[in-house]
Homo-oligomer: A and B are copies of this chain.
Amino acid sequence: MTKLLEGKLVTAALKEKQQAAVEALAAKGVKPTLGIIRVGERGDDIAYERGAAKRCESVGVAVQRFHLPMDASQQELLSLLEQVNRDPSIHGVLLFRPLPKQMDDETIRNALAPEKDIDGITDGSLAGVFTGSGKGFAPCTAQACLEMLDYYGYDLKGKKVTVIGRSLVVGKPVAMMLMGRHATVTVCHTRTVDMPAACREADILIVAAGRAGVVGKEFFSPGQVVIDVGINFDENGKMQGDADFAAAQSVVEAITPVPGGVGTVTTSVLVGNVIAAAKKV
């Protein structure tokens, strides 16, 4: 019987700690606040923004939203970042990317004040993830994978972990973090030859392929723990992961559902990082 690794239990545990931390900050007159910067009106961003705002409110974290039109100039966004950087009432910033193509991703990312970088987008935070120094915050989705594994008690030391995907949001950072926890990590991607074989060998499989259902039956093996980071919508608007959930269920030991899995935990991690940033002020 395949175990369901539900995000809501992880989130509930995190929420309890977060509420206590928010109360302690309130006693000092500090209200942890997340600034959300969105350029344009992409559906994914709006959905994530809604979820993050709701989660923030549920633990007493305030939200300030900043929206720019899709055709905003790079200078407009830089000015907004400068304003947010200087605003002492904002402790952490979520900036939606990819940015429109008139903007240079690297310039924009690194214009955010490092101490407000609660989603690991600046070079300083990324270097912290790469070196394992613990400096800065890791990208929330990568951190959410680890929170999930930790909550359900999976020891990572010496485990074979295969990561599908090499993005800076999940694949690369989660690989580094797992390596820091003494797992033996293999990173697969679109150019990998015989990806199913590389996946079947894994004790833990992290799926961040970015396409619905691409990870099918031949990727799974008995005893495996599958963390599905994918968020995709079918033609009827139904949310699904990157893994073929039905196929996995008949084989693996445990899997995160989509919806109700990693995504839920990601926003909790984001909120936790805002609180941690507020504590440091």
Contacts and interface: CB of A to CB of B under 8 A. Distances in A.
A103 interface: no
A186 B185 contact: yes
A187 interface: yes
Contacts of A30: none
Nearest to A171: B179
A158 B191 CA distance: 5
Interface string A65-108: 00000000000000000000000000000000000000000100
A187 B189 contact: no
Interface string A95-132: 00000000000100000000000000001101111110
A13 interface: no
Interface in A147-196: 157-160, 166, 168, 172, 175-176, 179, 182, 184-189, 191-193
A8 to B, nearest CB: 32
A236 interface: no
Contacts of A126: 127, 130-131
A52 interface: no
Interface of A is mostly: mixed
Contacts of A3: none
B189 A186 contact: no
Given A158-B191, A184-B198, A186-B185, A106 B130 contact: no
Contacts of A157: 191
A184 B179 contact: no
A171 to B, nearest CB: 9
A2 B158 CA distance: 32
Nearest to A130: B130
Nearest to A178: B187
A185 B184 contact: no
Contact of A184 (B130, B131, B175, B193): B193
A50 interface: no
Interface of A: 106, 123-124, 126-131, 133, 135, 157-160, 166, 168, 172, 175-176, 179, 182, 184-189, 191-193, 198
